[in-house]
Amino acid sequence: MQTAYFIGVDGGGTQCRTRLTNQNGDVLAACSGGPANIWSQFDSAMKQVCQLLDETLHAAGLGPHEAGQTHVVLGLAGGNISRVRAQAQTWPHAYASWQVFSDVEIACPGAHNGQPGAVLITGTGSQGAVWDGQQFRCVGGWGMSLSDQGSGAWLGQQALRLALKAHENLVEHTPLTRALMAHFDHEPETLLAWSVQATPAQWGQFAPQIFQAAREQDNHGVALLACCAQEVSALVSNLSQNGRYPVAMLGGLALPIYPWLSEGIQAMLVPAGGDALSGALRLAHLCA
Amino acid sequence: MQTAYFIGVDGGGTQCRTRLTNQNGDVLAACSGGPANIWSQFDSAMKQVCQLLDETLHAAGLGPHEAGQTHVVLGLAGGNISRVRAQAQTWPHAYASWQVFSDVEIACPGAHNGQPGAVLITGTGSQGAVWDGQQFRCVGGWGMSLSDQGSGAWLGQQALRLALKAHENLVEHTPLTRALMAHFDHEPETLLAWSVQATPAQWGQFAPQIFQAAREQDNHGVALLACCAQEVSALVSNLSQNGRYPVAMLGGLALPIYPWLSEGIQAMLVPAGGDALSGALRLAHLCA
């Protein structure tokens, strides 16, 4: 029997990682590179991915010949958009198999060690996916204007809107709103100029400050996190389907928001097992 | 005594209008042209304004000589941003006087026939100003990401976020959320592609549909308008300063949101007297 190899790719908005194993699951190589979001930058993402795949084979001492024995599973940011996913699926390659998923999807079989289950990623943005062992269903991830509720970027934006309201005497000022406005020299015009350019990650940079304020019983901080917990709870409930699937929370907000969730929601959550790359490799075995 | 002339300019995000009177208040000319937002497009706005001023003088049979006897008051969108306002204030001109305000500010003395009072404009965006007879204080108008609460754009965005949540089973679907998703063929990806390019006016186009749904007792429609009314009420209260200043509501949402406001808030409101151009002309007399 011919030797088979497996490569998992986890392509996110900030970096792309690969892991190559043999059929026994021994890790032969791992590489990382720049961002790979196929929705915002399709061509550069696909080039990044292909280059990283070559590097990974090379790092394992394998060459173009063994590519034909290698099964590749890509989990790419933006892979939830069917049009670009289809485009990435038909990208020319020389591998034994080539399957495209979203970065959130590959996290499911990773977090639940190959068993059916769901993940909710709440970091800069928010997105969830549930895997029934055969198919994925995704929730959220439609960008800051329409979605991303309960995420760091969403939380930062809510807090800055509130800080500006407090500055204009539309709501009471608290230490949190004063501190946020102080970041912009208490000048709405400075905040405005910043907001026009701000990326989701920049909106999200204020999340730790909001958690800290809430721990200090700041009224606005507490209200913001109560609202954030409610949004996260709705996502967890939706993914769990009344306890049918365990949900693993990942991302920068997963731990800090946990104490703000009700016992009922906490009971739907489980710790993540393996990482997204291990999920991609499990899918690669299934797809092989 | 030398004859004096007065020109008021109302420069908004979609069009710019002028009115020229003599010292008796007789209207000698009126012109209109393209947009004049000095924050988003300073140079083209100022060129638009200057060209329109020339046309206005010409239409009244006046020439460069009479410009030196003419007092100009400009109310320009973006004039609430102090940096660009200062830049517009020092723009070279040959008029007897030249004063720059925001478009919302000139509406105050217009709406209250020269008396102190406030205006709240809730159209695509939301912004308020109060005039004590000498000075202005502005509230809101810092863009959709940070401000514009209770406006048409804000309402449209809230409704589309909700429609997407309903589509993903995070909240119940109602006729309103189904109708909104139907506008995008029930495809989140179509909505996403639209949202990336959408202007505030495009978000705001869904406002009439939301008011209609609320009149038909749609649960989401009613909740959205209750929230909108709350935001508008906070702005009205803030501008009114406990009944110290009457508030005139202007803009496309002014009439439809009125029945949703409490009696206490309605009591702070008065119908608008003159328009923004009449306010600019009153200020031009004061500045002369």
Average pLDDT over residues A67-77: 96
| Cβ contact A64:A95 at 8 Å | no
pLDDT score, position B48: 93
CB–CB contacts below 8 A, A to B: 74
B8 phi, psi to nearest 5 deg: -105, 140
Contact between B164 and A149 using a beta-carbon 8 Å cutoff? no
> Is A195 in Cβ contact with B145 (below 8 Å)?
yes
Residues of B in contact with A170 (CB under 8 A): 139, 234-235, 238
Over 70: is that where the pLDDT of A100 sits? yes
A27 Cβ partners below 8 Å, 6+ apart? A19, A20, A21
Q: Which of B191, B195, B238 sits opposite A169 (nearest CB)?
A: B238
Strands (E), chain A: 5-11, 16-22, 27-33, 70-76, 97-102, 117-122, 126-131, 136-140, 247-250
Residue to substitute from B168, B173, B197, B238, interface A, most A β-carbons within 10 A: B168
Cβ contact, residue pair B164, A146, below 8 Å: yes
Contact list in A for residue B234 (CB cut-off 8 A) is 165, 170-171
Q: Residue B210, exposed/middle/buried by CB under 10 A (0-12, 13-18, 19+)?
A: buried
Q: How far is CA B59 from CA B18, B29, B206, in A?
A: 11, 6, 39
Left, alpha or beta for B242 (phi > 0: left; psi -120 to 50: alpha)? left
Give CA–CA dist B42/A226, Å, rounded: 42
Q: Are B148 and B154 in contact (CB under 8 A)?
A: yes
Nearest to B284 by CA among B12, B1, B2, B9: B9
- Give the chain A residue whose CA is nearest to the CA of B192: A142
Report the mean per-residue pLDDT for chain A: 96
Token pair, residue A89, equals 């699926």
> Which residues face B121 on adjacent strands?
B127, B250
pLDDT at A270: 98
Provide the ipTM.
0.93
Chain B environment of A192 (Cβ under 8 Å): 81, 142-143, 146
Distance CA A23, CA A103 (A): 23
Q: Rg of chain A over CA atoms, in angstroms?
A: 21
B143–A196 CB contact, under 8 Å: yes
Residue corresponding to tokens 């507490």: A222
User: Which residues on chain A place their C-beta less than 8 Å from a C-beta of chain B?
Assistant: 81-83, 139-140, 142-143, 145-147, 149, 157, 160-161, 164-165, 168-171, 188-189, 191-192, 195-196, 198, 234-235, 238
What angle separates helix A152-167 from helix A207-215, to the nearest 10 degrees? 70
* pLDDT above 70 (res A277): yes
Chain B partners within 8 Å of A198 (Cβ) = 145
What pLDDT does B1 receive? 59
**Domains of chain B, first to last:** 5-113+273-287 (3.30.420.40), 152-266 (3.30.420.40)
B170 contacts in A (CB within 8 Å)? 139, 234-235, 238
pLDDT value of position A69: 96
Instruction: Specify the pLDDT at position A3.
Output: 86
Q: From the list A164, A235, A238, which residue is nearest B146 (CB)? A: A164
Residue type, A172: E
Contact A170 B139 (CB under 8 A): yes
Token reading at A112: 């639940």
Q: Which of A81, A144, A147 should one mutate to test binding to chain B, selecting the residue with the greatest count of B CBs within 10 A?
A: A147
Closest Cβ–Cβ partner in A157, A188, A238 for B145: A157
- Tokens describing residue B264: 């206490």
Chain A: closest CA distance from residue B47 (Å): 24
Contacts of B13 (CB under 8 A, 6+ apart): B35, B37, B40, B77, B124
Residue B282: both structure tokens together: 């009153």
Option in B82, B169, B195 nearest A145 (CB): B195
- Rounded CA-CA distance A35/A46 in Å is 10
Distance CA A166, CA A172 (A): 5
User: Quick check: helix, strand or coil at residue A93?
Assistant: coil
Write the pLDDT tens digit of every residue in A199-212: 999 999 999 999 99
Task: Give the 3-state secondary structure of chain B.
Answer: CCCCEEEEEEECCCCEEEEEEECCCCEEEEEEECCCECCCCHHHHHHHHHHHHHHHHHHCCCCHHHHCCEEEEEEEECCCCHHHHHHHHCCCCCCCEEEEEEHHHHHHHHHCCCCCEEEEEECCCEEEEEECCCCEEEEECCCCCCCCCCCHHHHHHHHHHHHHHHHCCCCCCCHHHHHHHHHCCCCHHHHHHHHHHCCHHHHHCCHHHHHHHHHCCCHHHHHHHHHHHHHHHHHHHHHHCCCCCCEEEECCCHHHHHHHCCHHHHCCECCCCCCHHHHHHHHHHHHC
> Which of A102, A186, A191, A192 has the highest number of chain B CBs within 10 A, making it the mutation to test binding with B?
A192
- Judged by CB atoms closer than 8 Å, whether chains meet at B195 and A146 is answered as yes
**What pLDDT does residue B248 have?**
98
What is the C-alpha to C-alpha distance for residues B285 and B19, in angstroms, rounded to an integer?
Answer: 13
Question: DSSP character for A124?
Answer: S
- Best of A84, A102, A145, A202 to mutate (most B CBs within 10 Å, chain B): A145
Report CB contact under 8 Å: B164, A145.
no
Summarize the confidence of residues A224-232 as an average pLDDT: 98
Q: Which of B139, B165, B196 sits opposite A168 (nearest CB)?
A: B139
B161 vs A146: CB contact, 8 Å cut-off? yes
| Whole-angstrom distance, CA of residue B158 vs CA of residue B227 | 10
pLDDT in tens, A30-43: 999 998 899 989 99
Mean pLDDT (whole number) for A216-226: 98
Query: What is residue A143's DSSP assignment?
Result: -
pLDDT tens for the 288 residues of chain B, in order: 578 999 999 998 889 999 999 999 999 999 999 988 999 899 999 999 999 999 999 999 999 899 999 999 999 999 999 999 999 999 999 999 999 999 999 999 999 999 999 999 999 999 999 999 999 999 999 999 999 999 999 999 999 999 999 999 999 999 999 999 999 999 999 999 999 999 999 999 999 999 999 999 999 999 999 999 999 999 999 999 989 999 999 999 999 999 999 999 999 999 999 999 999 999 999 977
User: Which residue of chain B is at minimal alpha-carbon distance from A199?
Assistant: B145
Q: Which of A160, A168, A238 best tests the B interface by mutation, with the highest count of B CBs <10 A?
A: A168
For residues B100 and B89, give the distance between their C-alpha atoms in angstroms, rounded to a whole number: 6
pLDDT number for residue B288? 79
pLDDT of residue A273: 97
A68: helix, coil or strand? Answer: coil
Q: What is the pLDDT, as a whole number, of residue B145?
A: 96
Rounded to 10 degrees, the C-alpha dihedral A222/A223/A228/A231 comes to 140
Angle at B184 between CA B183 and CA B189, to 5 degrees: 165
Q: CA of A232: which chain B residue's CA is closest?
A: B170
Residue A1 has pLDDT above 90, yes or no: no
